[in-house]
């Protein structure tokens, strides 16, 4: 009886199988860590040895696909209605997607990976070793990694915000499965995404807490790196993450991400200024040039003719591609959630380029800085501990003035990156498990936090985290195939979008006719104010809607008229309701625009009484930008409505345009 009264938005078809899989695999990895790791490693190694070309091919296709989209005409399409505006400032947006995507990884691998490539080189001489260490680090953390994240985020944001489908992986498969995405196929995709998200966060949390514990012990704040203190750290981090996720994206996640971004920038600038500044700035410019020079070859390099390079491909590149793919449901869902209102071009270029450039600078400052200090100051001391990434960052910072301040700041950045990764992960897991239903109760986010805490600590204690991490990487190849299918679905939907949507706002002169040209001249040589819009609504729109509504009724078609104000702007809508398809809607509102100073100061132009003019415009239920109506009288307006209704009927009659007209509320 008590359980029945508990409010929940969880989808049983997704939640119950996911919990069974999560607990079963966690228990197996926990009870038999060595056997599980041995078995999973054998599968992973077989994948990497025999199918490394497949990982390279998938990532290459995704990267090229997104670049082509960005510079094609579909790049102008918005993730949402044509009139949608971005919900967050550019800095807030980048901060949140960066913190969720790889923030904690930069702290862990910023020094460790370049040093590892330096001491285990592909090239022989010292200069080439240092350059190659930078080049391969850029490759693994740059454009390709963010392209993987960007694809999932783009698919989800496009289908969710433009076509009102749930913010779930299954929605991206609508062009193929149509209504069936709400069936077994959709459930399987979401279950897989939920498990990948959970395992990715749990393993990162488990391994990352070791670095945080090591740093606190290194400073003497904690006495040792025991499981007891690791438990305390995990509980604190998850507790803060739960509080942040409950407060929502606009408050907790956004503020923490912005604060941490600023601290990361300050830490990087400290190391840049206090370290070998001239060398690092030169290395950054040369490194970026080297990256762009070699990007095509590196993107498709399978080392088929260079067996000595195979370890780099399988142990590093393919491993990273698998890791980013396995994390893409989590990061992609979160990026999608915060990207409404961006154009496809802006989204792709910003998500791929901006974080990558920051990472290039970060990896240069910390990675090349560590290599320079190792050669010129430390006498090889950093290379000697290259296999101990947990402590390598702190040993590197020891060679700087204000080392204690830098180490404390780095620990703060690590801790908050932990929180931002965990809180965004909790939000995403709750969204997947709920089918993106709004109004989920707070206890569900607490539940996911508790699950993360218990499983990560249990596996950390008994040595099962490595097996869990390996399993996550093994799952990457099947999901990579799903990503290629999503590319096809997105392209299919975008073609339909281009066919039926018009993103431009036509000038009112498009509807001119020969009669009443003197009245048209009067309108052109004056600017409309708010009172003119009210007059137009009362004397043109209202009679036109009433007359047409009566005509529809005579034809046996029910319609209704709604009016009011939104943001103090009057609107009126003629609606024809339907059961299974979207309602037909023709709305009229006003669009304000500032009158330029040139017009106001120029004598030989129309007089402007106010700084703003107001134009009556139409809008529709499918989110398209409407027409300028200022030159239309009642009969012209009725004709324009009938043109839109004819268009609507034609689209409804076309089976291929189902995505555009289906009422998603009848499915979910």
25, 32 contact by CB (below 8 A): no
Residue 3 banded pLDDT, cuts 50, 70, 90: very low
| DSSP state, residue 78 | B
% of the chain surpassing 90 pLDDT: 21
| DSSP state, residue 504 | S
Residue 524 banded pLDDT, cuts 50, 70, 90: low
CB-count exposure of residue 438 (10 Å: 0-12, 13-18, 19+)? exposed
- Greater confidence (129 vs 226) lies with 129
The 10s digit of each residue's pLDDT in 187-207 is: 888 888 888 778 777 777 776
Q: What is the mean pLDDT of residues 557-578?
A: 88
Residue 436 banded pLDDT, cuts 50, 70, 90: confident
Strand pairing partners for 576? Answer: 584
**pLDDT mean across residues, the chain:** 81
State yes or no: pLDDT of 365 exceeds 90: yes
The 10s digit of each residue's pLDDT in 95-127 is: 777 666 566 677 778 888 899 888 887 655 556
In the chain, domain spans: 2-500, 517-666
Residue 65: what pLDDT?
96
Residue 465: what pLDDT?
65
Strand pairing partners for 588? Answer: 572, 618
Residue 475: what pLDDT?
75
Among 458, 506, 499, 498, smallest CA distance to 630 is for 506
- Highest mean pLDDT out of 46-55, 161-170, 293-302, 462-471: 293-302
Q: Which two tokens stand for residue 539?
A: 């004397």
Fold of 2-500: Amino acid/polyamine transporter I (1.20.1740)
168, 664 contact by CB (below 8 A): no
Alpha helices in 525-633 (DSSP H): 530-536, 542-554, 597-601
Residue 520 banded pLDDT, cuts 50, 70, 90: low
State yes or no: pLDDT of 648 exceeds 70: yes
- Phi/psi region, residue 372 (left: phi>0; alpha: psi -120 to 50; beta: rest), is alpha
Q: What is the mean pLDDT of residues 417-435?
A: 80
State yes or no: pLDDT of 653 exceeds 90: no
% of the chain surpassing 70 pLDDT: 86
Q: What is the mean pLDDT of residues 599-607?
A: 57
Strand pairing partners for 571? Answer: 564
State yes or no: pLDDT of 184 exceeds 80: yes
SS3 at position 46: helix
452, 424 contact by CB (below 8 A): no
- Greater confidence (573 vs 305) lies with 573
Q: What is the mean pLDDT of residues 62-78?
A: 93
CB-count exposure of residue 550 (10 Å: 0-12, 13-18, 19+)? exposed
Answering whether pTM is above 0.75, one says yes
Give dist(CA 521, CA 525) in Å, integer.
Answer: 6
- Greater confidence (513 vs 182) lies with 182
Give dist(CA 447, CA 73) in Å, integer.
Answer: 44
244, 253 contact by CB (below 8 A): yes
């Amino acid at each position: 009886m008590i359980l029945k009264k508990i409010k929940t938005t969880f989808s049983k078809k997704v939640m119950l199988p996911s919990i069974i899989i999560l607990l079963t695999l966690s228990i197996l990895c926990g009870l038999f860590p060595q056997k599980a790791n041995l078995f999973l490693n054998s599968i992973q190694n077989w994948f990497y040895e025999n199918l490394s070309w497949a990982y390279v091919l998938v990532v290459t296709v995704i990267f090229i696909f997104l670049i082509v989209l960005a510079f094609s005409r579909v790049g102008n399409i918005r993730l949402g209605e044509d009139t949608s505006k971005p919900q967050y400032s550019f800095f807030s947006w980048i901060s949140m997607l960066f913190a969720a995507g790889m923030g904690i990884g930069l702290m862990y691998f910023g020094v460790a990976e370049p040093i590892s490539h330096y001491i285990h080189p592909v090239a022989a001489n010292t200069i080439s070793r240092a350059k190659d260490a930078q080049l391969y680090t850029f490759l693994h953390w740059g454009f390709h990694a963010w392209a993987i994240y960007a694809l999932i985020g783009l698919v989800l944001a496009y289908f969710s915000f433009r076509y009102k489908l749930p913010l779930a992986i299954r929605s991206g498969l609508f062009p193929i499965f149509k209504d069936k995405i709400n069936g077994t196929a959709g459930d399987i995709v979401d279950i897989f995404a939920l498990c990948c998200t959970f395992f990715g966060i749990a393993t990162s949390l488990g391994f990352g807490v070791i670095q945080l514990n090591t740093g606190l012990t290194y400073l003497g704040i904690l006495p040792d790196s025991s499981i007891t203190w690791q438990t305390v750290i995990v509980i604190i981090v998850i507790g803060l993450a739960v509080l942040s996720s409950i407060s929502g994206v606009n408050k907790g996640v956004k503020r923490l991400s912005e604060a941490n971004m600023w601290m990361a920038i300050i830490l990087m600038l400290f190391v840049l200024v206090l370290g070998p500044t001239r060398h690092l700035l030169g290395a950054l410019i040369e490194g970026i040039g080297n990256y762009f020079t070699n990007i095509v070859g590196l993107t498709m390099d399978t080392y088929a003719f260079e067996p000595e390079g195979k370890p780099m491909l399988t142990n590093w590149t393919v491993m990273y591609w698998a890791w980013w793919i396995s994390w893409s449901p989590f990061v992609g869902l979160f990026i999608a959630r915060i990207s409404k209102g961006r154009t496809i071009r802006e989204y792709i270029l910003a998500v791929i380029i901006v974080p990558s450039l920051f990472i290039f600078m970060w990896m240069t400052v910390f990675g090349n800085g560590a290599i320079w200090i190792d050669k010129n100051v430390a006498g090889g001391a950093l290379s000697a501990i290259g296999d101990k990434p947990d402590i390598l960052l702190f040993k590197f910072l020891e060679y700087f003035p204000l080392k204690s301040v830098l180490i404390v700041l780095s620990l703060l950045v690590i801790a908050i990156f932990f929180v931002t990764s965990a809180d965004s992960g909790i939000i995403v897991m709750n969204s997947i498990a709920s089918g993106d239903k709004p109004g989920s109760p707070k206890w569900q986010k607490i539940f996911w936090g508790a699950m993360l805490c218990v499983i990560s600590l249990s596996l950390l204690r008994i040595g099962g985290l490595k097996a869990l991490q390996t399993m996550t990487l093994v799952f990457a190849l099947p999901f990579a195939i799903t990503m290629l299918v999503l590319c096809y679905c997105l392209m299919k939907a975008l073609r339909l979008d281009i066919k039926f949507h018009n993103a431009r706002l036509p000038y009112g002169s498009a509807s001119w006719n020969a009669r009443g040209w003197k009245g048209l001249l009067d309108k052109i040589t004056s600017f409309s104010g708010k009172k003119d819009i009210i007059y137009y609504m009362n004397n043109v729109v209202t009679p036109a809607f009433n007359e047409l509504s009566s005509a529809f009724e005579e034809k046996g078609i029910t319609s209704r008229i709604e009016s009011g104000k939104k943001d103090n702007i009057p609107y009126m809508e003629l609606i024809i309701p339907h059961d299974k398809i979207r309602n037909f809607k023709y709305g009229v509102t006003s669009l304000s625009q500032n009158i330029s100073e040139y017009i106001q100061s120029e004598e030989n132009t129309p007089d402007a009484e106010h700084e703003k003019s107001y134009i009556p415009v139409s809008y529709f239920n499918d989110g398209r930008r409407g027409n300028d109506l200022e030159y239309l009288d009642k009969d012209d307006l009725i004709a324009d409505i009938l043109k839109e209704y004819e268009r609507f009927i034609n689209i409804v009659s076309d089976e291929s345009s189902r995505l555009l007209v289906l009422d998603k509320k009848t499915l979910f």
